[in-house]
A and B are shown apart, each in its own frame.
Chain A
Amino acid sequence: MSVGFIGAGQLAFALARGFTAAGVLAAHKITASSPDTDLPTVSRLRKMGVNFTVSNKDTVKSSDVLFLAVKPPIIPFILEEVGPDIEARHIVVSCAAGVTINSIEKKLCTFCPTPKVIRCMTNTPVIVREGATVYATGTHADVEDGKLLEQLMASVGFCTEVEEDLIDAVTGLSGSGPAYAFTALDALADGGVKMGLPRRLAVRLGAQALLGAAKMLLESEQHPGQLKDNVCSPGGATIHALHFLESGGFRSLLINAVEASCIRTRELQHLADQEKISPAAIKKTLLDKVKLESPSLSVASAGKVSLFTNKSKKN
């Protein structure tokens, strides 16, 4: 099986790294493409032994499973560009936040009658094989296709199938989650430093504490509330600290964060559907390069790009 990545940024790198480390895929079976060769991840991918090309079409041709690992506003351009090369055998996996299966299928159906589309939401810790991934299968993707993806993603962490309407919530929770954790860890380390620990040690200990706690929770039948209680001896240090967290509304901040990320994801999707993203939001070099490859791409009006135009390609 060969895997291709349209896009050679953080996500492509994280997944490629994870798959090869897990041994489910040899590096030379992976192709990644991007018009931008200056990305730091490009050289890292090359070093890994991944086939790198500037041609998205080449990636499609040499892959069975095709990951769309570009930012959401770029997706429509990519689909226009590589659409003609998508065959029934391909499994197209979109990792783009907020981009619906329906929107992708609509675009691809103009080229291929039954495109296999799977929508997936993962997160960066796939790089250390502790990713959190969910996926939803599209109209023409079979159970086996879903299972194939699940096997791939399970090699780099936790993976489960969900209904598509939950994916935005997953984005808010585990998609963005690592960022919340990094923020917390930075702050915890600050606390350690304030109380006299050297920074490196503080970071190491903070990270290990969160890692350990997460592991305990995953391996335990107990409720996190119970696990918390188990740490809080009466009148002790921990309960004093927790009181501070509660006073600061720690819990509600986290709830707010997950909610905000989920809502923003939906907003972005809504914006995309309404074709409101301006070309200015897309890096100029990228846009130019993509337009060169796909002369059929239409610019509906000055300043606005029609993202999901119903214009079928003239062939």
Chain B
Amino acid sequence: GKVPAGNILASAPSDKNLESWRELGCRTTHCNLEVVQRSTLVFLATKPHVLPGVLEEIRPAVGSHHIVVSLVAGVTIQTLQKLLPPWTKVLRLMPNLPCVVQAGAMVFSRGSSAGDEESALLRALLSSCGLCEEVPESYLDIHTGLSGSGVAYVYLFAEALAEGAVKMGMPGALAGRIAAQTLLGAAKMLLETGEHPAKLRGDVCTPGGTTIHALHQLEKGALRATVMNAVEAATNRAADMAKR
């Protein structure tokens, strides 16, 4: 409810995706320039290889009142500032998928001309979609590894949990819902109690009980190291892609 749909204008070369925007009540166009001319806050959400062309296209219409927020993976603030007029207020944002359900995790960093006002505006706007924090640009790739891709790790874990339950005799649909709720509940406890995860884990482990037996299996499988490897791999890949 932060922005009325009518105040949002989205552009795309074809109508393929624009229909869903119109259903939300947004206005649409095929003209990128129009978006820039009629908006103060402009989000760049193209694929990386398309962006340079788009920036060249909109550059003449970009002024000092604009706030340009790039969601484009791998395109650095330095590159953005190079392709836009100097003194353009540029910020770079990395969201993640659950923004859709307003439980996102987003980080952003600002370019040289973006100030506290722009930062505050963005944070105020995006907190409606979930957690939103300003960070140094070097954290953006790490965020990709942790949370951008991280969502997929969680889906994998949820699937595996459910599969274990199915193996033990529970119907799949039920197992899936319980797996998801378990993750949701655990995450909520983490966020709301502010306790260290190791402490919360210990709280669940009664001596000689089921949980500690299960955890031993996870440790035997070096789950921790594997997860660390995953975050590292995704972060490195993001950095590699940015270099190209």
Closest beta carbon of chain B to A241's beta carbon, Å = 12
> Which of these binds chain A: B102-110, B183-191, B217-225?
B217-225
How far is it, in angstroms, between the C-alpha of A252 and the C-alpha of B218 when the chains are bound?
8
Which of A222, A225, A226, A252 is B219 in contact with, Cβ under 8 Å?
A: A252
* Chain A positions 220 through 257: 1 when the CB is less than 8 Å from some CB of chain B, otherwise 0: 00111110010000000000000100111101100110
* Chain A positions 182 through 201: 1 when the CB is less than 8 Å from some CB of chain B, otherwise 0: 00000000000000000000
For the A-B complex with A225-B198, A229-B196, A252-B222 known, give 20 more contacts whose Cβ atoms are closer than 8 Å. A222-B196, A223-B196, A223-B199, A223-B202, A225-B197, A225-B199, A226-B199, A243-B225, A246-B222, A246-B224, A246-B225, A247-B222, A247-B229, A248-B222, A249-B219, A249-B220, A249-B222, A251-B219, A251-B224, A255-B216
Q: Is B228's CB within 8 Å of the partner chain A?
A: yes
How far is it, in angstroms, between the C-alpha of A246 and the C-alpha of B228 when the chains are bound?
9
How far is it, in angstroms, between the C-alpha of A259 and the C-alpha of B228 when the chains are bound?
27
Closest beta carbon of chain B to A244's beta carbon, Å = 8
For B196, list chain A residues within 8 Å (CB).
Answer: 222-223, 225-226, 229
How many positions in chain B have a CB within 8 Å of any CB in the partner chain? 13
Closest beta carbon of chain B to A60's beta carbon, Å = 37
The binding surface of chain A is classed by DSSP as helix
B228, A243: Cβ atoms under 8 Å? Answer: yes
B219, A255: Cβ atoms under 8 Å? Answer: yes
For A256, list chain B residues within 8 Å (CB).
Answer: 220
How far is it, in angstroms, between the C-alpha of A305 and the C-alpha of B196 when the chains are bound?
54
Closest beta carbon of chain B to A255's beta carbon, Å = 5
For B224, list chain A residues within 8 Å (CB).
Answer: 246, 251
How far is it, in angstroms, between the C-alpha of A243 and the C-alpha of B233 when the chains are bound?
13
* Residues 186-244 (chain B) with a chain A CB within 8 angstroms: 196-199, 202, 216, 219-220, 222, 224-225, 228-229
How far is it, in angstroms, between the C-alpha of A59 and the C-alpha of B198 when the chains are bound?
50
* Chain A positions 96 through 108: 1 when the CB is less than 8 Å from some CB of chain B, otherwise 0: 0000000000000
